[in-house]
Structure 1
Amino acid sequence: MNADPTNDPMRETLSRWQAAFDGHRPDDMAELFTSDAFFQGFGPEVTVGRDAVRAYYDAVPEYRRAHVGKVQGYRIGEEVAGGFADVVFRDPSGWEAPVHLSLVLQREGGDWRIRAYHVSRIATDH
């Protein structure tokens, strides 16, 4: 992560996201999203809203962790930002899922919230 994530909305948001994920805190995770956020995790369907986000992360095993790698971000004015990150989800059994994560962020009050979240699993068999 960057030395000063407050100047980089992607890094700042991903830092809070990773802490909530690794701590298995579905309520904290849901609060990172706008109330009408679009969310697509590993499932085939896009869901909408904090309740859907909370339910998704509540179902993730408590022992699963996320490692955030390379992050690329952009800003559009003072209210919109986003970007891409390489993330690897892991658990103690050796299970691993490398993904590309894309986020669209929106400033609400003084906080950046996730407006759109999309995960794309990286195929390693080609």
Structure 2
Amino acid sequence: MNDSVHDVLRSWNAAFDGHQVDAMADLFTPDALFQGFGPEVIVGRDAVRSYYEAVPDERTAQVTALHTYTLGDQVAGGFADVTFRDPTGWEAHVHLSFVLRYDGGRWRIRQYHVSRVSDEH
């Protein structure tokens, strides 16, 4: 598996758990496409920052990479299993798909999409 992809996932997880919205936003490209729990796709690092600012501080995420890939020197991505939790017992299990682009001397998230996992079809 690609170490750079795992590094980005670890950085995202640490920033999410620490509610470090600037650090999370910096993991995304300026033109990132982002689909979180909301119904709309948002675009751009500032929109991603605003999204994460609205996430309650006490939420945490458990991330497990399922599959990663690279396409040349500039593109990588994969799928991860993520469970979001908070101390009240709220929990959401999702699959995360993401595309990374080598941008400004480092890997950044260009596309991010979560989909809730359900036992129903």
Q: Place the TM-score, normalised by the shorter chain, in its bin.
A: over 0.9
Q: CA offset at residue 125 of structure 1? A: 4.4
Partner residue in 1 for 2:97: 102
Q: CA offset at residue 9 of structure 1? A: 2.4
Moved over 4 A (4+): none
Q: Note if 1:36 corresponds to 2:31.
A: yes
Question: In structure 2, what is the Cα distance between the partners aligned to 1:15 and 1:70?
Answer: 10
Q: CA offset at residue 8 of structure 1? A: 2.0
Indicate if the aligned counterparts of 1:10 and 1:71 stay in contact, CA closer than 8 A.
Answer: no
Higher mean alpha-carbon deviation, 50-59 vs 101-110, is at: 101-110
Partner residue in 1 for 2:41: 46
- Within a 5 Å distance, the mapping from 1:1-126 to structure 2 comes to 7-125=2-120
Question: In structure 2, what is the Cα distance between the partners aligned to 1:49 and 1:9?
Answer: 22
**RMSD over equivalenced CA pairs, Å:** 1.4
Indicate if the aligned counterparts of 1:68 and 1:85 stay in contact, CA closer than 8 A.
Answer: yes
- SS in structure 1 at match of 2:77: strand
Q: Deviations over 1:102-121 (max 9, x none)?
A: 00000013311000000001
Question: In structure 2, what is the Cα distance between the partners aligned to 1:43 and 1:36?
Answer: 18
- SS in structure 2 at match of 1:103: strand
Higher mean alpha-carbon deviation, 75-84 vs 7-16, is at: 7-16
Give the TM-score normalised by the residue count of structure 1. 0.91
Report how many aligned residue pairs link the two structures: 121
In structure 1, the gaps of 5 or more residues are none
Indicate if the aligned counterparts of 2:6 and 2:65 stay in contact, CA closer than 8 A.
Answer: no
- SS in structure 2 at match of 1:97: strand
Question: In structure 2, what is the Cα distance between the partners aligned to 1:96 and 1:10?
Answer: 25
Question: In structure 1, what is the Cα distance between the partners aligned to 2:102 and 2:65?
Answer: 23
| Aligned residue identity for 1:66 | A
Give the TM-score normalised by the residue count of structure 2. 0.94
Call closer, same or farther: CA 1:86–1:40 in 2, change over 3 Å. same
